[in-house]
Amino acid sequence: MADDPLLRTVNVKKHFGGVVALDGVSIDVEPAKVTMLIGPNGSGKSTLINVIGGALKPDGGQVIYGGDDITGLPPHKRYALGIVRTFQVPKPFRSLSVLENMLTASRIRLDDSAAKILFSSKWEFEEKRLIEKAFEILKLLNIDHLWDARSDQLSGGQMKLLEMGRALMSDPKLLLLDEPVAGVNPTLAHDIMSHIVKLRDEMGLTFLIVEHRLDITLRYVDKVYAMHQGRIISSGSPSDVMSDPHVIEAYLGD
């Protein structure tokens, strides 16, 4: 039998005025797998990610994480449970170096007040430990040589890797990635997807990804959900979903 899902949405509904963005969406996200949400523009993908991350409250249905109902939890409590999202447009602190950006993203900054960290005798030890951890992650993402570069000097793809590195500093369990390879050249896009697979295999991380560049990403993915007009219209292996007439029709009709 398969593992219990790490995350489930059960019949999630969300409307904006008269627009039905999510019309009863149920998905299972299996642990240590890469699950991808696809669908034409306006099909409800970002809304679903926002409901899972806690930025939006659904009008109905549940979000279940590790067996617990987290539908009512605010985003920072979900973050503390290991649900971390990245954004389509990365938002590093541009005047800080890559390493400094990694350090500001570590969970300790959020759990303790900055003053408490700065004036505690623990600080030096913690700082050292965090720097080591940051370097390990930068190495895993092959950007450790850029540790001292200012973040605004990075290419778009490198910035996406830094965004992922920042997410990893917080010891996430479930990463919600909104278009991780949008606007990135094909070589680097494959590189980013390979890193995602490596993080899945080596650290057991779970990914839920929204992405439009199916030509590049599908081969790296374990399971696909296709959305259209706020509903799941198909799910399964990438090849099953891409050959499903409902999916082809949904893309052609838009």
Ligand X SMILES: Nc1ncnc2c1ncn2[C@@H]1O[C@H](COP(=O)(O)OP(=O)(O)O)[C@@H](O)[C@H]1O
Footprint of Mg ion (CB under 5 A): 46
Helix pair angle (156-169, 186-203), 10° resolution: 10
42 binds, among ligand X, Mg ion, none (CB under 5 to 8 A by kind): ligand X
Question: Closest distance between ligand X and the C-beta of residue 60, in Å?
Answer: 16
First to last CA, the chain: 38
When CB distances to Mg ion are compared, the closest residue is 46
Q: Which residue lies nearer to ligand X by CB, 28 or 178?
A: 178
75 binds, among ligand X, Mg ion, none (CB under 5 to 8 A by kind): none
The 10 Å CB-count burial string (b at 16+, else e) for 140-157 is: bbebbebbeebbeebeeb
Which residues would be at the binding site for ligand X (CB under 6 A)? 16, 19, 21, 39, 41-47
Question: Closest distance between ligand X and the C-beta of residue 14, in Å?
Answer: 8
Question: Closest distance between ligand X and the C-beta of residue 113, in Å?
Answer: 33
Q: Which residue lies nearer to ligand X by CB, 21 or 192?
A: 21
Q: Which residue lies nearer to ligand X by CB, 28 or 179?
A: 179
Q: Are 229 and 48 in contact (CB under 8 A)?
A: no
Q: Are 122 and 129 in contact (CB under 8 A)?
A: no
44 binds, among Mg ion, ligand X, none (CB under 5 to 8 A by kind): ligand X
Signed CA dihedral, 174, 110, 87, 41: sign only = positive
Question: Closest distance between ligand X and the C-beta of residue 43, in Å?
Answer: 4
Q: Which residue lies nearer to Mg ion by CB, 146 or 250?
A: 250
Strand order in the sheet with 83-86: 83-86, 174-178, 206-210, 34-38, 223-228, 231-236
Question: Closest distance between Mg ion and the C-beta of residue 191, in Å?
Answer: 23
41 binds, among ligand X, Mg ion, none (CB under 5 to 8 A by kind): ligand X
The torsion region of residue 111 among left (phi > 0), alpha (psi -120 to 50) and beta comes to alpha
DSSP 150: B
Tokens coding 82: 């290991």
Q: Which residue lies nearer to ligand X by CB, 38 or 130?
A: 38
Question: Closest distance between ligand X and the C-beta of residue 39, in Å?
Answer: 5
Q: Which residue lies nearer to ligand X by CB, 59 or 112?
A: 59
Q: Are 166 and 105 in contact (CB under 8 A)?
A: yes
